[in-house]
Structure 1
Amino acid sequence: MTGQREPGSSREAPPTPAAVEIAFGRYRALLEATVGDAGAGWRDFVDALRRPLPACVWSRPGRVDGAELADLLAEQGVAADPVPWLDGAPGSALLLPAGFKAGQHWWYCAGLAHAQEAVSQLPVRLLDLAPGQRVLDLCAAPGGKTAQIALALGNAGTVLANDFAPERIAALQGNLDRLGVVNVSTTRGDGGNYPAAAGPFDRILVDAPCSSEGTLRRNRSLIDKVGPERSLRMASRQRALLRKAVKLCRPGGRIVYSTCTFAPEENELVVAEVLESLGGRLRLLPAAVPGLASAPGVTHWQGRSLPAELGRCLRVWPHANDTGGFFIAVLEKAPDAPGLPEPVPLGFGLDAGDGDWCTEIAEHYGLATPIEQTYRVHRRTRRGLHLMAPDHAPPAAPAAQGSGMFFQRTNVRPPKLTTAGALLLGAAATRQVLELGAPAERDAYLRREPLTPAPAARADCRPGQVIVRHRGWSLGVAVLHRSGELESLFPRGWSGAATGA
């Protein structure tokens, strides 16, 4: 298949209408059957796929609200519009101009917001989350949905986030740390073989790996890769993931299955096969979001009639809300279906003297409340200490890659807060806090450049480790030298994102 780009166009140029027709023409009758508006609807669909996708961020609850985040953007001359059909979701979602690079701005580095495509925020909303639920995100990286789940639960309780590759787990953990999430344990493995020893979950998200057809607006190269053969290859893995989710779901619990593709082979057909195989132990719930222009699930495809209940699924076509493409099915496990036994809990411990490390940090920064009274502190490595929500209770199996947040290094002297620890605890610090008021100083800190703050800014700090703030929000940790120079300890892996801070 060829992308048929315009002569002289760059690699990022939009595909031609003819290329879109070749790649997605098999969906024309499907779109017109579910949306209507024959002809015009298809032209709108093609035109939407050729346009760049608006950027979207959501505010981190507890650190900044949507209005404050919009004000920060307005100061930069960036227009931000609320997404009405995401109202009530964890964090306030704001639409931004296409091409906006949220990760290159100081407020993103400070964990005040997360960039996530608007339509990709829908599955968590349809999980019907409430504090106290035990939740599994079976295909979690890069972590936006996991963070939404965790914060919807009040950053408390137990969330397990699984993915299959170490580098994906690292990216997932990085996002959770930046956003101050402490109620998640990460696991690594094939979600289709997730062990029953993990126990039952009240809510499970299966945001399945897919052909990603609906992401064409931000990934132009897909135009040369999509097709029914790819969708058929993906479907077997998707069925395995959904079947495993059903087994792990607590009787009466809820599963949300989602993809970012248009292909019925990866969507309705997967759901239909799993429903049929379970003989009434699973039912489809209506998937609807007020204010969102959506279409029902497909009940006829390529001469095949599917169960009418598949119309309860939700399809989002790109032109309907100026988004990517998406599919969601909401499933409920029968209350009388077989369930799993509760899991063996993972044990946590501290070495002798570990409590002294926490006391030393609390005294250094003037934390009024001992760290151990707010969080559960535990040691996973020789490097230092982790903390997590007091009621976080991951299972002993599968083995956790991480539980909570690595917040303090104890293999250095004096002990040092990590950047994630500073973002989480910095608001409560009353000593050794250095406020950078000038944007130029703030940006130099984020780029790990040496700087010398004004004497007034460092007057209340003695030489040594300090928490750096800007406008009251924590940015991270630094060392204040006797010379007055501030040595940034902002992570190298994060500082590259701050080049446009």
Structure 2
Amino acid sequence: MELPIQLLEELESVPGFSASDFTEAHRQVPPTSIRMHPLKAPVHYGENLDAVPWCNAGRYLPERPLFTVDPLLHGGAYYVQEASSMFLDYILRSVYPEPEGLRVLDLCAAPGGKSTLLASFLDERSLLISNEVIRNRAGILGENMTRWGYKNAWVCSNDPKDLGKMQGYFDLIVVDAPCSGSGLFRKDERAIAEWSPENVQLCAARQQRILHDVLPALKEGGCLIYATCSYSPEEDEQIMDFLAAQFPLESVPVTVQDDWGIVRVTSAIHGINGYRFFPHRLRGEGFFITVLRKASGETAMPLPKFKSVHARQMAVQIDRFLEQDSYLLLPAENNQFMAIPAGMEADYHYLKQFVYLRKTGITVGGPGPKEWIPEHDLALSVDLRKQLQTVELDLEQALLYLKKETFATPAGAVKGWNLVTYKGLGLGWIKVLDNRINNYLPKNWRIRMDIDWETIL
């Protein structure tokens, strides 16, 4: 692996950098890490794995498995996330020791690592908006947020300028900005071929535009968390100085343990605190993150008056599926309905004025000719009732289900709708008929790869 000479020379002046150690680290296999779902991970899952020091739910794996053939991944028991980026969890817990009723925007959210982390962190009175402007990536984001299963985590697909029109709406904005990607050289050698000083400058200009467009949506006293997977100061410390020069933002320092290997840096002009991750100093990839607080500026715009569209009669159908009764049922496309937390309908009507809500709460299904037809989202919800008719699958059955292939009616299945589970974790729905079962896994969710059954089983 030949690292760009220009980058190595540029980093010589950065604290914590050692060209020889940095180069040697890029000859090593990168670590694999996961972050466990606080409600879905099986009991004792991960207890024999090394912990990520700055994230209680983070674990290192001894080697990278074939995640595609693990039903627990499909059911949302964990998310495969790079360990360095899990430092967001530590920052959140430092800045918000009691996160209550926050409105949070994850601006550049796909594929969903930081959004699933945020959803796990926030309380049920908080609202998370995960945005991804690129539509196909927004689809992947929506799937991952569905697996995570929270009804207060919504997905939109808009330009930052659209979100910036929501003056003072958000308490917290997270911007994991598109960047030149040098921090991922070890995981993706294609990033080396694509790296150049010119691309770094293009990315820095784009980062400035993104931040300039979205920051009006951050309320006075709210926090901005900015991150990249780039080593280049133009995309890191220099962006911090740009922010401090353009907006009334103050640095919010956090205390880190020396033995973690994280390098604390300060920007050259305004002294803003940032945190650098180098692969030769810790078990993780290249990463940079900073947190700033808005000292003055916008106060939140009032939410609009609205006529409720809560479908009271339809909600009776949902009570048998959802554990909590603190939800509203709103109409969606194609005769479907979606459950959102009670008390958030004003936010729903407000957001619709500015953004395209691609996923709102939990899509619970809709009425059929004879019965309610549950949606796949519902099977993965953390609020799903425990008393539902469920059928536990073994590994082979679970993978056949996830490949959307036929398999024999499982033991314990009864006629009608059944929630299929693996190790107690919901995977989706089947409907048992007299002589067959119908697999209701969405086609676009199915496993497409050929499985070597002798190896897997």
Sort the TM-score into its range (normalised by shorter chain).
Answer: 0.7 to 0.9
Match runs of 1:329-348 below 5 Å: 329-334=290-295, 336-344=296-304
Say if 2:153 and 2:361, in contact at 8 Å, map to a contact too.
yes
How far apart are 1:98 and its partner, in Å?
4.7
1:361-396 Cα offsets, whole Å, 9 max, x none, are x2xx6x7x5x6x132211121331111222333424
Task: Assess, with a 3 A threshold, how the Cα gap between structure 1 residues 183 and 271 changes in structure 2: closer, same or farther.
Answer: same
Q: Secondary structure at the match of 1:231?
A: helix
Which of 326, 343, 353 is residue 391 of structure 1 equivalent to? 343
2:119 is equivalent to residue 162 of structure 1? no
RMSD over aligned CA atoms reads 2.7
1:45 positional shift: 0.6
1:429 to partner: Cα distance: 4.0
CA contact (8 A) 2:107 2:131 kept: yes
- Please name the residue that 2:331 is paired with: 379
Select which of 11, 21, 25 maps to 2:8. 25
Distance (Å, rounded) in 1 between the aligned partners of 2:82 and 2:29: 12
- Give the aligned partner of residue 55 of structure 1: 32
Counterparts of 1:77-476 in structure 2 under 5 Å?
Answer: 80-87=49-56, 92-127=57-92, 128-129=95-96, 130-197=99-166, 199-278=168-247, 281-290=248-257, 291-297=259-265, 299=267, 306-307=268-269, 309-310=271-272, 312-334=273-295, 336-344=296-304, 349-350=309-310, 353-358=313-318, 362=320, 373-392=325-344, 393-394=347-348, 395-396=350-351, 397-399=353-355, 400-411=357-368, 413-424=370-381, 428-436=385-393, 438-453=394-409, 455=411, 457-458=412-413, 461=414, 463-476=415-428
Q: More displaced, 411-420 or 259-268?
A: 411-420
CA distance, structure 1, for counterparts of residue 381 and residue 34 of structure 2:
20
Q: Give, in whole Å, the separation in 1 of the partners of 2:31 and 2:154.
A: 32
d(CA) in 2 for partners of 1:402, 1:308: 39
Q: In structure 1, how many angstroms separate the alpha carbons of the residues matched to 2:8 and 2:131?
A: 35
CA distance in 2, matches of 1:62, 1:45: 38
Q: What whole-Å deviation, never above 9, does each CA across 1:323-378 have from its counterpart, x for those lacking one?
A: 111111110111x444342343776524584235435xx2xx6x7x5x6x132211
Match of 1:490 in 2: 441
Q: Compute the displacement of 1:234 (Å).
A: 1.1
8 Å Cα contact 2:168-2:298 kept in structure 1: no
Among all aligned residue pairs of Structure 1 and Structure 2, give the percentage whose two residues are the same amino acid: 23
User: CA offset at residue 321 of structure 1?
Assistant: 0.8
Contact residue 263 and residue 275 of structure 2 kept, 8 A: yes
* CA gap 1:273/1:426 in 2 versus in 1, 3 angstroms: closer
The residue number in structure 2 matching 1:477 is 429
3-state SS in 1 of match to 2:332 = strand
> What secondary structure does 1:64 align onto?
coil
1:426-457 CA deviation, whole Å, 9 max, x = no partner? 85243432222x322222222222222465x2
1:444-487 deviation digits (Å, cap 9, x = unpaired): 222222222465x23xx2x222111233222210021223x433
- When residues 224 and 136 of structure 1 are mapped into structure 2, their CA distance, relative to the original with a 3 A threshold, is same
For 1:467 and 1:141, how far apart are their aligned partners in 2?
A: 28
Shift in Å, 1:317: 1.1
The residue aligned with 1:75 is none
Which secondary structure state, in structure 2, belongs to the residue aligned with residue 46 of structure 1?
helix
SS of the residue 1:70 aligns to: coil
Q: How many residues align?
A: 442
Q: Quick check: 2:167–2:299 contact (8 Å CA) kept in 1?
A: no
AA at the equivalent of 1:70: G
Q: Counterparts of 2:410 and 2:153 in 1: how far apart (Å)? A: 40
Q: Distance in 2 between matches of 1:358 and 1:440?
A: 31
Q: Distance in 2 between matches of 1:327 and 1:28?
A: 14
Structure with the larger helix share:
1
CA change 1:109–1:350 in 2 (3 A) is same
| Cα-to-partner distance string for 1:396-448 (whole Å, 9 max, x where unaligned) | 43132331121213356532222220122685243432222x32222222222
Distance in 2 separating the partners of 1:431 and 1:487: 18
Query: Where in structure 2 are there 5+ consecutive unaligned residues?
Result: none
Per-residue deviation, 1:307: 2.0
**Other structure's SS at 2:139 match:** helix
